[in-house]
A and B are shown apart, each in its own frame.
Chain A
Amino acid sequence: MKILTKWLRSYLPGLPVDDAQLAEDLTLRGIAVEGIYSLGEGNGSLYEMDITTNRVDAMNHYGVAREAAAIYSLPLPALAFPLPAVEPAKVPFPVKIEAEDACGRFTARVLRNITIGNSRDWFAGAEVATYFGLLEQKMISNAVDASNYAWLAMGQPTHAFDLDKIEGGIIVRRAKKGEKLKTLDGLDRVLDPEDLVVADHKKALGLAGVMGGWDTMITPETKNVLVEAAWFDPVAVRRTARRHGLHTDASHRFERGADFNAAPIASAIVCSILLANGGSIEGDLVDVRVPALEAKTAQRKPIPLALSEVRRILGKTVSEEGITAEIVENVLVALGCGLENDKAAGGDRWKVTLPSWRLDIEREIDLIEEVARVYGYNRFANTLPAFGEGVKALPWAESEDAIRRTMMTAGFHEAIGSTFCSASEAALTAPQPGLVVPLGNPLSEEAGVLRPSLVPGMLAMVAGNLNRDVSDVRLFELGTVFSGTTEKVEERPAMAFGAAGNLAQQTALHPARAIDFHDVKGAVEQVTGRFQARSVYFDRFPADAGLIPEWLHPYRAARVVVEGVTAGWFGQLHPREAAARKLREQVIVGELYLDRLYKLPSRRPAAREISRYQPVRRDFSLVLDKSIPWRLIDEALSGLRIPELVEWRVREVFNDPKLGEQEYSLLMGATFQAPDRTLRDEELQSFHTQVVKAIGKAGARLRS
């Protein structure tokens, strides 16, 4: 919205500050001036303003002047547009409000023998050409410009009808089913029975408070005019405008609450400007009001205000005396309130009468805000409240933090992906494919549903890197996944991770090393290792059982099982999915269901004594059938329950051409150590025998 300081100063000739200071003072009181543009010598400045939607009353020159008057304690004269003497009418122009719930006031004035022509500066207080020129507002004709002038001056919409095209009189009513109206934008509209219209005795003339009609518009030939200035209900106007996809200056104002008392003055502005080009008034102003709506706007009951409440809410000011009764009275009176000391209530209490143009003020707290606003927010002190209770963290905060740190230590960057995915990606990745929640107004088809899994987003981010020639990718995301129906949506925490390319980059001294399944498995083990679980293991189902997620390579996928419950899946991206995404690189991807991990206690580190006695390492070279995985050997060794067998691990796995087709070779290192003694040869010999026997039972033999 644009405001001319030249126009403002015409209302407040005594303004004691320059345009820059005025802009700052207004801004700090919530009447925000976003930009100041000098218009040259004698023309003042143009303010580009951004006024919040609750302050429609200030979206015009007189409204801003009222704020300035309050800030500088200046008197603001009422708007006065004297009209020439009235030529009596035989009968007053007939106006009837049928829709008494939606139209609170309708004023009509008849002008005869006017001349439609170009605008100019008509008289002091009606400098149409000057102001429109400075505002770069296009001038159209004296009739249109007069209405715009009233709008810019005081924010009250008006409308002028070609009187000779009105049949009978005015009726404000709801539209009839199927009724037609061509509006000023040239569109033929079919009206809804809920639409509020201004009609004559035969037909609808315009959408009330939104847009006038084509057939009764002012043309260069128009001689006689009916000037409307009215008050329409915000909700009725909003609904009508929305139904027709319209948003006009008039609807903007009425939707946010117009000034019930503004109609006669706005009408006088329009009429005095039109009459400056000739013509006469016929009859007195016709002014029809609905008392019930007047009681809700211009005649609202006074509301009580107590100084103690003002101080309880606002607190301390920079100056020691704080907010005083005098400050409250000065501010509210300047804004147009009437204050009556409520002696019966005792102390500094008032009954406050509210101005008709401030429908946003309804309660005591609204008055308190006005006091704070005009007094100046920055004149309040900076204090701190007393300390409350102890600080509580979220129950899973520690777990989430541990997981994040573990993944970062493993070399993964944290990422944040889209909350949405396409229905087909959801079908591919949802742990419960039937429970995917669609959006009613998605941003795009690719973002049509709430993500049931973090995997689609992770794949998109991994692919994004690879497509940008960033070949080494290690990402994880901690986020919410959604499942359920459009009636009830469940949210769960999850973590996805994705990797491709090299884990260690090539340096002068070391070769590069590609990240692989087991690198990622290591990270997953470290994550599950953050929790105290009775058991954690990895398995996969037979490829043909249909239980492996479709996005995973069926023979390079692992299920993460924690305390017997599935806690996630990971593995190599299925080559079919990789091809569909045009990925030539091997991508390792997975997801953990964190709600299942968060149920477990965090692992607490506990120290145990480090043995001072020599450990003994023994290597075992094994030959196994390819159907025997390491897990069986591992389980056989833990089944031995030899306390002195403190560690065993695979040192090497290789396919030896000297062995049978279905065999492979495995080198295992085992470490024996006792906490209290050096192990004797006989003991070691016995351990060795037990190990060989156990792995033999598991299906391996010692290589001779």
Chain B
Amino acid sequence: MTNQPIPDLTAFDEAALDKAFAQLEQEARQAASGLNDEAAVEAFRLEWLGRKQGRLNEVSGRWLKAAPVEAKKALGVRFNSLKAVVEALLDAALGSGPSDASLKAEALDITLPGTQRLVGAEHPITRTLNEIVSVFAALGYSVGVGPEVETDFYNFESMNFPPGHPARDTQDTLVVANQERRSQRDRLLLRTHTSPVQMRTMEQQPPPVRIVIPGKVHRNDAADATHSPIFHQVEGLCVDTNITFSDLKGTLDHAMKALFGSAVKTRFFPSFFPFTEPSADVQISCIYCGGKGCRKCKQSGWIELLGCGMVDPAVFAFAAEKQPAYDPKEISGFAFGMGVERIAMMKYGISEIGSFYSGDMRFLGQFV
């Protein structure tokens, strides 16, 4: 298709320019008025705005070149306003877009399920561990870890379980083979709690200490719905001048509210652990019934959650062998420990502890 040629311009006074441009504008408007399909719109675009033979291109080429210097500015102004008009006409024509019929042919069933990218899930134990650790990080606690294979010294003796102490019976221990000929304190075993990391930390660093210790522990326990030979604990230790029992209470009360919601209440009652004195068990108001009493809390309104206490001076005495600053007359501290599985089971409504270690995709997939 050949465009209608642009007439030559001979006069460049303002009146002549006005007339010539008005003529072109009228032609453009006329052409644009009858655009009823996409092909016609494209033809209009090519006729007027085409890069090589578009009419506006002709105008800028021929008229502007022919214009005397003093008329170039006046011509340019008119050219630009004509171009704006043509572009506006094109936009308006394009704006109406493809017809409804052509769009309808492209209809999708949007009720089909979306195609989801498969993403993996963090293990609920990792998730719970991280949650606990970050609650204490916000209170100024660093993270510490220690080996899973421990010596009798760190696991028991330095935690004030002397050899032959009846409290050792409550922690059935898995031991490494062939330890019989070694001295008691060097014997290797699988740590039964994360508490030995308390001693390892204190041996390496003088007070103050504020540390949380997440980790895997093992006991020679028969597996059932709530017991597993493999489980996880988070231990905490805070040692400084003037650390008190009321600080322990306040810290754990805050932590339980951060983990289970601000409505949760705590209560403390006496317990016994060789490495703390005074020792306490901590209960939280039942998160299922809010404390009214239900099957989960055996109608008591309370759920037992963790053990804690003031660090026993005997434990400090072991630490002081390497770091004399752990003088129980000068400093004091508290420690606490909680079972991660139990907390995860409560938070996510898990009834079988074995689910955590089965690697069952259906179980794990729930935590995406």
CB neighbours of A491 from chain B (8 A):
147-149
Known: A440-B179, A464-B359, A510-B115. A486 touches B251 (CB 8 A): no
Looking at A32, A54, A382, A475, the one whose CB has the most chain B CB atoms below 10 A away is A382
B119 at interface, CB cutoff 8 A: yes
Tell me the residues in window 439-491 of chain A with beta carbons closer than 8 Å to chain B beta carbons. Answer: 439-443, 450, 458, 460-462, 464-465, 468, 470, 472-477, 479-480, 482, 486-487, 489, 491
Question: Digit string of A418-454 for contact with B (CB within 8 Å is 1, else 0)?
Answer: 1100000000000000000111111100000010000
Contact of B112 among A372, A458, A508 (CB under 8 A): A508
CB neighbours of B310 from chain A (8 A):
313, 365
Tell me the residues in window 234-270 of chain B with beta carbons closer than 8 Å to chain A beta carbons. Answer: 238, 240, 242-247, 249-251, 253-254, 267-270
A384 lies within 8 A of B247 (CB)? yes
Complex CA distance for A413 and B362, rounded to whole angstroms: 10
CB neighbours of A380 from chain B (8 A):
245-246, 249, 268
B246 lies within 8 A of A391 (CB)? no
CB neighbours of B175 from chain A (8 A):
439-441
CB neighbours of A410 from chain B (8 A):
120
Which residue of chain B has its CB nearest to the CB of A470? B361
B247 lies within 8 A of A383 (CB)? yes
B174 at interface, CB cutoff 8 A: yes
B149 lies within 8 A of A489 (CB)? yes
Tell me the residues in window 117-137 of chain B with beta carbons closer than 8 Å to chain A beta carbons. Answer: 117-123, 125-126, 137
CB neighbours of B139 from chain A (8 A):
384
CB neighbours of A635 from chain B (8 A):
none
B356 at interface, CB cutoff 8 A: yes
Total CB contacts across the A-B interface at under 8 A: 248
B143 at interface, CB cutoff 8 A: yes
Give the shortest distance, in Å, between A219 (CB) and chain B (any CB).
Answer: 34
Q: Which of A123-131, A314-322, A549-557 contacts B (4 or more CB under 8 A)?
A: A314-322
CB neighbours of A438 from chain B (8 A):
176-178
A53 at interface, CB cutoff 8 A: yes
Which residue of chain B has its CB nearest to the CB of A393? B143
Give the shortest distance, in Å, between B70 (CB) and chain A (any CB).
Answer: 39
Which residue of chain A has its CB nearest to the CB of B109? A508
Which residue of chain B has its CB nearest to the CB of A374? B270
Q: Which of A202-210, A401-409, A582-590 contacts B (4 or more CB under 8 A)?
A: A401-409
Known: A365-B312, A384-B250, A409-B120. A415 touches B359 (CB 8 A): yes
Complex CA distance for A413 and B360, rounded to whole angstroms: 9
Which residue of chain B has its CB nearest to the CB of A29? B270
A238 lies within 8 A of B188 (CB)? no
CB neighbours of A378 from chain B (8 A):
267-269
Question: Digit string of A180-223 for contact with B (CB within 8 Å is 1, else 0)?
Answer: 00000000000000000000000000000000000000000000
A441 lies within 8 A of B174 (CB)? yes
B149 lies within 8 A of A482 (CB)? yes
B240 lies within 8 A of A388 (CB)? yes
Interface residues on B, range: 35 or more
Give the shortest distance, in Å, between A614 (CB) and chain B (any CB).
Answer: 18
Complex CA distance for A441 and B142, rounded to whole angstroms: 35
A464 lies within 8 A of B358 (CB)? yes
A411 lies within 8 A of B118 (CB)? yes
Complex CA distance for A111 and B140, rounded to whole angstroms: 69
B178 lies within 8 A of A486 (CB)? yes
Contact of A412 among B115, B120, B179, B356 (CB under 8 A): B120
CB neighbours of B246 from chain A (8 A):
314-317, 380-383
Tell me the residues in window 256-307 of chain B with beta carbons closer than 8 Å to chain A beta carbons. Answer: 267-272, 277-280
Looking at B145, B229, B310, B361, the one whose CB has the most chain A CB atoms below 10 A away is B361
Give the shortest distance, in Å, between B82 (CB) and chain A (any CB).
Answer: 32
Give the shortest distance, in Å, between A540 (CB) and chain B (any CB).
Answer: 27
A255 at interface, CB cutoff 8 A: yes
Give the shortest distance, in Å, between A246 (CB) and chain B (any CB).
Answer: 14
Which residue of chain A has its CB nearest to the CB of B189? A440
Known: A255-B166, A407-B120, A491-B148. A383 touches B208 (CB 8 A): no
A565 at interface, CB cutoff 8 A: no
A368 at interface, CB cutoff 8 A: yes
Known: A392-B143, A489-B176. A313 touches B120 (CB 8 A): no
Known: A439-B175, A489-B188. A384 touches B312 (CB 8 A): no
B364 at interface, CB cutoff 8 A: yes
Contact of B113 among A27, A475, A507 (CB under 8 A): A507
Contact of A363 among B267, B313, B360 (CB under 8 A): B313
Complex CA distance for A652 and B348, rounded to whole angstroms: 46
CB neighbours of A52 from chain B (8 A):
271-272
A404 lies within 8 A of B126 (CB)? yes
B164 at interface, CB cutoff 8 A: yes
B338 at interface, CB cutoff 8 A: no
B78 at interface, CB cutoff 8 A: no
A377 at interface, CB cutoff 8 A: yes
Contact of A503 among B118, B147, B208, B357 (CB under 8 A): B118
B170 at interface, CB cutoff 8 A: yes
Looking at A315, A378, A404, A412, the one whose CB has the most chain B CB atoms below 10 A away is A315
B210 at interface, CB cutoff 8 A: yes
A394 at interface, CB cutoff 8 A: yes
Give the shortest distance, in Å, between A253 (CB) and chain B (any CB).
Answer: 11
Give the shortest distance, in Å, between B282 (CB) and chain A (any CB).
Answer: 9
Which 9 A-B pairs have CB atoms at the shortest separation, nearest pair first?
A315-B244, A461-B359, A30-B270, A315-B246, A408-B120, A382-B250, A52-B272, A369-B278, A411-B118
Given contacts A372-B278, A441-B220, 17 further A-B contacts (CB under 8 A): A27-B269, A369-B277, A373-B270, A377-B270, A378-B269, A380-B245, A385-B238, A387-B140, A389-B210, A408-B120, A416-B125, A438-B177, A468-B360, A479-B216, A486-B179, A507-B112, A507-B115
12 A-B pairs within 8 Å (CB atoms) are namely: A366-B277, A377-B269, A383-B246, A384-B247, A388-B240, A397-B143, A413-B361, A414-B122, A441-B175, A458-B359, A474-B120, A480-B148
